[in-house]
Structure 1
Amino acid sequence: MNVNQTLETEEDLLTCLRIQVHHPQQNSRGLFRLLPVDRRTTCSADDPLRLGRDSQSCTFALEDPRVSRKQLALHAYRSARCPDLLFCVQNLSQRGRMSVNGSALGYLERLDLPDKALVRFGEYQLLLSREPGEAKASFEVEFEVLNVPPSRETIPSAPPCRETAPSVPSMTPVAETGYLGDQRSAGPLEVDESLIYDS
């Protein structure tokens, strides 16, 4: 194959990793002032993207003494099952807890990220979402500061580029009355004798 055919061109659309960040004290403490907020930064896909308080060893830094020197790393990778550039997250903090979509991630553990994921550590919340592109050797990162916690948004837990099982119809929970089904069509099967009903 000709070498020129394997090189990316400037016209190749880059995958964009959007990172929306929130901290309850972000306005008073200037925690995100070192981040390139609201502008895209191009990163090499073969280098991990590190986030922490040490601006020398991290790609992006948070100005907060409570954040670990190296808090987390985002690794870009490709899979034989999916043509897109994908990402996984790794916890680099020995002392801090971290969770991804509610699942705990221990020190040096990695987890493949779905197209949208909520990462939490300390009081920080990071909503990561991936916009696919064609380029394989590089990607873009765009930070945005959110005024409200992103945990209020529902995050799908399905992994990226994998076939998911057909959805199971939701079941109506069993009420304390013991009745299962459409609550509008009939009364309960059991009646609490302490209640007085008007006839």
Structure 2
Amino acid sequence: MPADVVAELQELAQVRELPAGSLLVSSREPARDLCLIARGDAALGSAPADGSFQPERSVQGPAWLDASSVWLDSVHVLDAVALTPARVAELARDPLQALLDQRPLLAQRLLVSLAREVRRLTMHTHDLMHKDAEGRFAAWLQQRCCSEAASDGSVTVSLTERKRDIASQLAITPETLSRLLRQLSRKGLIAVAGYTVKVLDVAALRALAGV
């Protein structure tokens, strides 16, 4: 992205630094801005007024929390809660629309970003319908193998969510998740220490995930 376009976006963005546990996006409010988590981890799901939270999926910044509802003059579909300290950027629709009209490259980038999100959600739905629990968890874990591999080829994944919340996203019980962790450990694919998972064989995990 050209430096001048980045500078214009930075001028438009309202940036907030928020602690873990903060409500980043509310489904009870109209969508007036495109919401991006620039740094940190968040979960998307349902946060009723009683203070509970039912996660459906998680995202790791940089990622959109909601880049669609604002264009439809709608409320946010899901709530978003910060799992870690987070930096959130909000872009008001009207000034952004004016900038998109002037910057076709920026409009193209946004379109591609939305297309990737639609593809990711379609694949997630496909996994829930067609993969068994082991395949779904392998795919979930493989998507989080973002850090650089160690000298032995392993990748360390830190789980920022409670295991019961991870299980909820995968449509399985916490007991099933625990069984899957033991199962993949016995197969030599991972090593688990608390909320840290060391993926020992990334290629085998990808094959199990079917990607």
TM-score normalised according to structure 2 size: 0.22
Q: Between Structure 1 and Structure 2, which shows a larger proportion of strand residues? A: 1
TM-score normalised according to structure 1 size: 0.23
Which structure: larger Rg? Answer: 1
Q: Between Structure 1 and Structure 2, which shows a larger proportion of helix residues? A: 2
Relative contact order (C-alpha < 8 Å, sep 6+): which is higher?
1
